[in-house]
Amino acid sequence: MDLIFEKTIAEIEDFVRQQPEDLLLQICRLLKDRICHYDWVGFYILKNGELVLGPYAGKPTAHTHIPVGKGVCGQVAEKKKTIVVQDVSQENNYISCSIDVQSEIVVPVLKNAALVAELDIDSRSPAPFRPDDTLFLEKICFLLSRHF
């Protein structure tokens, strides 16, 4: 794994141990500031059968509630598996948050095999996500699963 990812994981492990009230927001800000191709970072929390926008770092979005199955986030909620979209213009079931977004990765947060939240990252870069991004973000979501 990339050195910047390893350093960031160590910081997030410290955040999780300290359990601050704004843990998810701190993680959003850290990821957006630290990783150059993470332009919007946010959490959607599963509540009453739909995804509800939680803490995020980046431009405001109108997509505060997403039904399970709709868009990339909704598909991740349905499948409970990470989805990487390197070119959002090629995605049939894509919900556009901004015309600047070119790619997206969404990672589920699972607790006892049930989806409780997901980490959504948008990028203005074309095809920036590598297998290391997936491993890195899945590790973060695993660490956070105890928070829910």
Burial class of residue 89 (count of CB atoms within 10 Å of its CB; 0-12, 13-18, 19+): exposed
User: Tokens 């870069």 appear where?
Assistant: 125
User: Would you tell me how many other CB atoms lie within 10 Å of the CB of residue 133?
Assistant: 22
Q: Give the DSSP H/E element, type plus range, for residue 76.
A: helix 71-79
pLDDT of residue 132: 96
Q: Is the pTM of this model over 0.85?
A: yes
Query: E strands within the chain?
Result: 40-47, 50-57, 65-67, 83-85, 103-111, 114-123
In this structure, CATH architecture of domain 3-147: 2-Layer Sandwich (3.30)
| d(C-alpha 79, C-alpha 93), whole Å | 14
Are the beta carbons of 115 and 141 closer than 8 angstroms? no
Alpha-carbon dihedral of residues 68, 71, 77, 80, nearest 10 degrees?
140
The residue ranges of every structural domain in the chain are 3-147
Of 136, 60, 46, the C-alpha closest to 98 is: 60
| d(C-alpha 49, C-alpha 46), whole Å | 6
pLDDT per residue as tens, the chain (148 positions): 789 999 999 999 999 999 889 999 999 999 999 999 999 999 999 999 999 999 999 999 989 999 999 999 999 999 999 999 999 888 776 666 667 889 999 999 999 999 999 999 999 999 999 999 999 999 999 999 988 9
